[in-house]
Structure 1
């Protein structure tokens, strides 16, 4: 799970609303990426900066710097925690965010929109992680799945 989350240059691996990503830099704090957004959302591009990358504590932070969308002053922090879920090894992913409320929208509308995007991303992250875990099993038995 962490290897997918920390892949600043390839968010489209688990974020279904991203179609393409190009980045400049060495994938350290300060690196900037340009993201193309899939149709169906009120945006086509986003410019984002890597704010925090802590492999030891599995913390990842991004800030949106620009783009043709309404998420102004958006930043998020994701933490990834190994957990035991129903007696099996798993992963707990927590994402927090701050964003300005756009003119013409309420706080609740903005919250629900961003939370919808995050939930879609996390569901896709779980699906992709599960497929990777199952695919990498060389013994023919089902691997323990990390979400």
Structure 2
């Protein structure tokens, strides 16, 4: 069966905590390749939520990873970022810190983020938000890129997950819907960039 050039898989999940315990009905990380599942397991504290999204791209894995791994240039495919400046490190070393300016229209102005993982062999990148003018506290994101078998040519799976505090005045569901919408838009834009 032919596959779409790009699509977000329906096997995403969201998990929230109530009274300090993870919701018991979490369906797991459906769609996340087994070899990367450990990277997408986030411990949850009270008042946090997490989600994982998997996106298919009909492009070679190395081309996709070349864009995703650029901690110093997230605006190459993340359309909600106006610009990025490294303030510590070289962008390829764990511990590097970047400052982002967000496009107008979002409930944010800027973000300061630290590179937590950059593993070219396993194609894993992770960052943590340190601060900024936005409502995402204790946000940590992990993205993994995977080569997949396809009869019609190169095929890549991108899995992105996160954990974050639920902001005051919002529900976990509202928080996940907002963040998932941004991630899905970014992954769709990533596909457009590599398919040009």
Deviates more, 1:20-29 or 1:108-117: 20-29
Distance in 2 between residues matched to 1:53 and 1:64, nearest whole Å: 16
Shift in alpha-carbon separation, 1:41–1:85, aligned structure 2, 3 A = farther
Name the SS for the 1:62 alignment partner: strand
Q: Which residue does 2:77 correspond to in 1?
A: 14
Q: Does 1:59 align with 2:124?
A: yes
Q: Does 1:33 align with 2:33?
A: no
What is the aligned counterpart of 2:169 among 104, 114, 127? 104
Distance in 2 between residues matched to 1:39 and 1:121, nearest whole Å: 16
Distance in 2 between residues matched to 1:86 and 1:48, nearest whole Å: 39
Any gaps of 5 or more consecutive residues in structure 1? 132-147
Q: Does 1:77 align with 2:146?
A: no
Distance in 1 between residues matched to 2:156 and 2:65, nearest whole Å: 9
Name the SS for the 1:46 alignment partner: strand
Any gaps of 5 or more consecutive residues in structure 2? 1-63
Aligned residues: 131
Shift in alpha-carbon separation, 1:105–1:3, aligned structure 2, 3 A = same
| Higher relative contact order (Cα pairs below 8 Å, separated by 6+ residues) | 2
Q: What is the TM-score of this pair, normalised by structure 1?
A: 0.87
Q: What is the TM-score of this pair, normalised by structure 2?
A: 0.65
The alpha-carbon deviation at position 86 of structure 1 amounts to 5.2
Q: Which runs of 4+ in 1 moved over 3 A?
A: none
Root-mean-square deviation (Å): 0.9
